[in-house]
Amino acid sequence: MRYAIKPEKVMTSSGELLNKYVVINQGKIERIQVEKPTDCDVHYYPDSYLSAGFIDVHIHGRAGADVMDENDTALATIAQALPQTGVTAWVGTTVSAPWQNILSSMQRMKDYIQQGKQSGAELLGSFMEGPYFTERHRGSHPTEYLMPPTIPQLEELLQISDRTLLRVAIAPEIENAEPAIKWLVENGVKVSVAHTNATFEQVTKAYYLGADCGVHLFNGMSALHHREPGCTGAVLYHDMLAEIIADGIHVHPAVLNLAYKLKTYRRMVLITDCMRAGGLPDGEYMLGVQTVRVENGQARTFDGSLAGSTCSLDQALRNMVFKADVPVWEAIQMVTTIPATYLGVADRIGDIAVGKEANFTLLNKELQVQATYIQGEQVYKCGEKF
């Protein structure tokens, strides 16, 4: 099926394109042109921006489901709920829990991906967030499940995930962290620093070993100080990608702007860190093996620690633009091209370019999601059920 979309602006990785027609054929972008196509229908969207589909590299769940739920429907539930937030691809994220629970979650995600029957947002792979963390900055990760990494554990993890494991988070100062980082990088798994009390020097060493990302910048890490820059300072200083939760709760808008000025859009990626309560009312919900309370949209453990978020990626985008004063085009790169490049999937998604998959998010001027397309098929339209 061939058709064309004509928005006001097309947001590509190279800039904003005006008065362009994007022609889609068989689920891919066939061409981008100035002239009105004569060989297909044209769908006009005046006063709208056409972006590549959003990619969330760090999300635990949504719509009442979590990647660690021990059933066969949770992953599909999350995938079906994400397009209404503009997300067309995501990385399923675990939490600290009994080791066998983590392995089971990795197995389910691997099976879900390899079955080749996905619908909704595409699950790209998995991210193991925990249990290789330090007590002081564990956040919502239960103390009893924290542990140092071992190579046999990592070998088991890689085997059971069958190369669908994309990321592992580690606190650089814990026992065995350095050999674990080196082993993971050598085996093609991206390593992030997280939930850590590491010094600037310890994170710097991890960076030179191959750790290339800081998980939810400012949260769950040693803070920036003018005499000891800590993990926060190291992530800001080095050429590391910085995840950031722009929900208006985890990081003040002024600090979002400061981080943007230091890292630029090229080294920042917006994440949700969303748990199962995303899109649902306040109440009590499970995160991994513990119960968290959501009040006024804030998810916290009973001891008061933030426990992920209930934020959506489109809301994070709006916050970066309207609260943190980041230009629209640059903020859009933080949820499209930058995460696609980081995950190594930019050859097929994360941009609007000839030959790429026709994954789109259509936004109005207020950056509200109007429609979402996956491989050329409209899977969400504002105000309609699919």
Residue written as token pair 């790169």: 333
| pLDDT at residue 358 tops 80 | yes
| % of residues, the chain, pLDDT over 70 | 99
pLDDT given at position 292: 82
Per-residue pLDDT reduced to its tens digit, 36-70: 999 999 999 999 999 999 999 999 999 999 999 99
| pLDDT at residue 146 tops 60 | yes
Angle, in degrees to the nearest 10, between helices 200-209 and 177-186: 30
On whether 216 is known to bind a ligand per the annotation, the reply is: yes
Per-residue pLDDT reduced to its tens digit, 85-115: 999 999 999 999 999 999 999 999 999 999 9
Average per-residue pLDDT in the chain?
96
Alpha-carbon span 360 to 55, nearest angstrom: 11
Residue written as token pair 């503009």: 86
CB 268 within 8 A of CB 235: no
Per-residue pLDDT reduced to its tens digit, 245-294: 999 999 999 999 999 999 999 999 999 999 999 998 888 887 877 788 88
| pLDDT at residue 386 tops 80 | no
Task: Compute the C-alpha angle 220/224/227, nearest 5°.
Answer: 140
| pLDDT at residue 296 tops 90 | no
CA nearest neighbour of 153 among 135, 125, 179: 179
CB 70 within 8 A of CB 64: no
Residue by residue, DSSP assigns 83-127 as GGGTEEEEEEE--S--HHHHHHHHHHHHHHHHTT---SSEEEEEE
* Chain centroid, CA 243 distance in Å: 8
CB 99 within 8 A of CB 67: no
Alpha-carbon span 291 to 260, nearest angstrom: 34
Query: Which residue type is seen at 119?
Result: S
Residue 19 pLDDT level (bands cut at 50, 70, 90) = very high
Is 273 a catalytic site residue?
A: yes
Considering Cα of 97, then 73, then 156, then 164, what sign does the dihedral take? negative
Beta carbons within 10 angstroms of residue 306's beta carbon: 20
Q: Give the DSSP letter of residue 267.
A: G
Alpha-carbon span 9 to 373, nearest angstrom: 16
pLDDT given at position 117: 87
pLDDT given at position 289: 72
Residue 385 pLDDT level (bands cut at 50, 70, 90) = low
Marked catalytic residue, from 69, 273, 314, 351 = 273
E strand or H helix at 81: helix 74-81
Residue 130 pLDDT level (bands cut at 50, 70, 90) = very high
Summarize the confidence of residues 24-38 as an average pLDDT.
Answer: 97
Residue 295 pLDDT level (bands cut at 50, 70, 90) = confident
Domains contained in the chain, CATH given = 2-50+351-381 (2.30.40.10), 62-343 (3.20.20.140)
Beta carbons within 10 angstroms of residue 297's beta carbon: 16
Pairing of strands 360-364, 41-52: antiparallel
CA nearest neighbour of 78 among 56, 99, 98, 97: 56
| pLDDT at residue 227 tops 60 | yes
CA nearest neighbour of 361 among 48, 119, 56: 48
Angle, in degrees to the nearest 10, between helices 74-81 and 99-114: 60
pLDDT given at position 297: 83
Tokens representing residue 154 in the block: 């990592």
Residue written as token pair 């620690």: 305
Summarize the confidence of residues 72-78 as an average pLDDT.
Answer: 96
On whether 129 is known to bind a ligand per the annotation, the reply is: yes
